[in-house]
Amino acid sequence: MNAPVLSHSRCGDCPIRHRAVCARCNADELEELDAIKYYRTYEAGQPIIWSGDVMNFVGSVVSGIASLTQTMEDGRTQMVGLLLPSDFVGRPGREGAAYDVAATTDVVMCCFRKKPFEELMERTPHIAHRLLEMTLDELDAAREWMLVLGRKTAREKIASLLAIIARRDATLTPGGATNRMVFDLPLTREAMADYLGLTLETVSRQISALKRDGIIELEGKRHVTVPDMRRLMEEAGDDSDGGFLG
C-alpha cells in the first residue's frame, strides 16, 4: 500500500491532532509514529470495519468521510458519528469494534497497528493525554446530538446538520465563520436521514422547504449556499455554536 499524495504535509501527527494542529507536537513522537504508520484507501460505500470485528489497528482519516453506524436486527440503522479528515478511529485498549465503520466518500486512512501504538502511548503520556481530550470532544458531540435526536423537529434537525457541516468546512477553509457560506453535501439524503433519525423523504421535503424559505440555495442536489448563517442557526434552534463531529 503505497502512500498517496496527502493534503497534510505530514500524516504522522494525525492521531494526536484532531480538528486543530496540536500545539505541543514533539519531533521524537512524530518520528516514532512515522515509523509505524501505513496507509489504506477505501472506495465510497465500502465497509472499513464491522461491529464486533477484532480491530488490530487504530488510525485517522486523511481525506474523505467515513461514518459510524449502529444497526438493529430488523434493519433500522442510526448513524452515531461522522468521521471527517483528522478524526480518529479505533480505541486503544479495546479488542472489538463497537460500530460499523464505512466509507461514505472515497477515504484515505493513516493507520497504526494497535500494539505498537499502545506501547508508544504507554511511553508518551502526551499522546495519551491528547487521546483523552479527543475522546471528551467526541463525547460532548455525541451528547449534543442526543438533544437533536430526542427533541428537535425535522426542520431543526436538517438545519442543525447543515450548520455542522458548514461549520466543519469553515475550520478546514480558514477564514470561515462569515455569514455567507458555500459547501458541498458529502452525504446522500439517505445518509442524512440515518444521521438524523428521519426517513429520506422527510429529509428531502425539509431541504425543499428550507430552499423555498430562502434559508439555503441549492445548485444541483449537493452544492449548498447559505446566504446567512445566523438565519440557519436560528432554524436549528441552537444558540450554542456547538460543533458536532463524531
Partner DNA sequence: GGTCCGGTTTGATCTGGGTCAAGGCTCAGG
Partner DNA sequence: CCTGAGCCTTGACCCAGATCAAACCGGACC
56 binds DNA (CB under 7 A): no
Residue closer to a second copy by CB (options 41, 78) is 78
Residue closer to a second copy by CB (options 36, 98) is 98
Contact positions with DNA (CB under 7 A) in 134-153: 153
Query: For a second copy, what does the binding mask look like between residues 15 and 54, x meaning CB under 8 A?
Result: ----------------------------------------
In this chain, which of 19, 106, 200, 243 binds DNA, going by CB under 7 A?
A: 200
88 binds a second copy (CB under 8 A): no
Residue closer to DNA by CB (options 190, 213) is 190
Long-range contacts of 143-150 (CB under 8 A, 24+ apart): 144/240, 144/242, 144/244, 145/244, 148/196, 149/196, 149/197
DSSP string across 161-173: HHHHHHHHHHHHS
CA distance 188 to 193: 9
Closest Cα partner for 54 from 113, 141, 107? 113
Residue 128 binding result from a second copy, DNA, none, given CB thresholds of 5 to 8 Å by partner type: a second copy
Contact positions with DNA (CB under 7 A) in 165-194: 188-190
Write down the least CB distance from residue 76 to a second copy, Å. 4
Residue 107, phi then psi, degrees to nearest 5 = -130, 140
Residue closer to a second copy by CB (options 125, 175) is 125
Q: 126 is written with which cell numbers? A: 502526551
- Indicate the pairing of strand 37-42 with strand 107-113: antiparallel
Residue 231, phi then psi, degrees to nearest 5 = -65, -40
3-state secondary structure 206-227: HHHHHHHCCCCEEECCCEEEEC
202 binds DNA (CB under 7 A): yes
93 binds a second copy (CB under 8 A): yes
Distances from the Cα of 119 to the Cα of 116, 125, 128, angstroms: 5, 11, 11
Residue closer to DNA by CB (options 116, 197) is 197
Residue 172 binding result from a second copy, DNA, none, given CB thresholds of 5 to 8 Å by partner type: none
CA distance 54 to 3: 25
Contact positions with a second copy (CB under 8 A) in 206-245: 237-239
Which spans of this chain sit near DNA (rule: CB under 7 A)?
45, 153-155, 188-190, 197-205, 207-208, 218, 220-222
